[in-house]
Structures are given as structure tokens and as C-alpha cells.
């Protein structure tokens, strides 16, 4: 059961008054360990509010990384994703960097490979 911020505060106050975690846990319908966690959080951070900002997956690319990527693309507009990763020593995957580049509004240009015969002069009877 998740406690709202007000209930969390009341549970910590009750523990600080009685020093009886078992009784507090029974009164609030939480486990004893939660009481100790809330008290420790209060000592460490000064608050027992839900720590929502620490949830979820962390971003792979920092704001500095994104700025460096933008700078590289503006300096050399035909740079590839792998060249960006190598130049900045990024550990992020190819697709992560690609998504970041697309989110910045840049388009990906594919390098086209073709057979070398296409570059040869066409024979029209002349050798």
C-alpha cells in the first residue's frame, strides 16, 4: 500500500514520539521496514515526500552530449551516426544516437554505394 505524503509524515511523527515501529506499522497498515525507511529518508533528505524524480529509466545522452552532437553535425553535415559515436566516445547505441539526431530536426542521409562500372565511360564503338 502506498502512503500519501501526509500519511508518511504522520507515520514518522508517530515513530519519533513512541519509538515503536511495530505499533506504528500496525496503525498505518504498513510493514515495519517501511517505517524505518521513512525515518531514514527524513533524516537524510529532510522530507518524507514521494521521490518521483528518481523513478524511471535514466537518459543515455546528457544535455552536453546532445549539444556536442549538434555542433558536430553543423560542422560536418555529412557525418554518419557511427562517426558521431566514435568522435564523442559515446556508449549509447546507434539507434539512441539516431533518435536524438532526428529529434533535433536533422534528417539522415544514406550514403549510396554503386558499382564501379557506373563511373566508366560508356563504349559507343570507341575504344
Q: State which H helix or E strand residue 34 sits in.
A: helix 32-45
Backbone angles phi, psi at 123, to 5 degrees: -85, 120
- The residues spanned by each domain of the chain are 5-53, 63-103
C-alpha–C-alpha distance, residues 116 and 11, integer Å: 77
Biggest CA pair distance of the chain? 104
Name the more confident of 54 and 63. 63
Write the pLDDT tens digit of every residue in 58-69: 889 999 999 999
Distances (CA, A) of 116 to 72, 111, 113: 31, 15, 9
pLDDT value of residue 74: 92
Set of cell numbers at residue 13: 511523527
Write the pLDDT tens digit of every residue in 17-45: 999 999 999 998 999 999 999 999 999 98
pLDDT value of residue 22: 93
pTM of the model: 0.49
Amino acid at each position: 500500500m502506498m502512503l500519501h505524503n501526509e500519511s508518511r509524515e504522520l507515520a514518522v511523527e508517530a515513530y519519533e514520539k513512541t519509538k515503536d515501529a511495530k505499533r506504528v506499522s500496525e496503525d498505518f497498515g504498513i510493514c515495519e521496514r517501511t517505517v524505518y525507511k521513512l525515518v531514514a529518508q527524513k533524516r537524510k533528505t529532510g522530507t518524507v515526500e514521494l521521490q518521483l524524480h528518481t523513478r524511471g529509466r535514466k537518459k543515455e545522452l546528457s544535455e552536453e552530449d546532445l549539444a556536442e552532437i549538434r555542433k558536430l553535425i553543423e560542422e560536418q553535415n555529412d557525418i554518419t551516426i557511427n562517426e558521431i559515436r566514435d568522435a564523442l566516445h559515446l556508449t549509447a547505441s546507434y539507434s539512441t544516437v539516431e533518435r536524438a539526431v532526428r529529434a533535433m530536426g536533422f534528417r539522415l542521409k544514406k550514403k549510396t554505394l554503386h558499382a564501379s562500372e557506373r563511373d566508366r565511360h560508356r563504349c559507343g564503338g570507341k575504344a
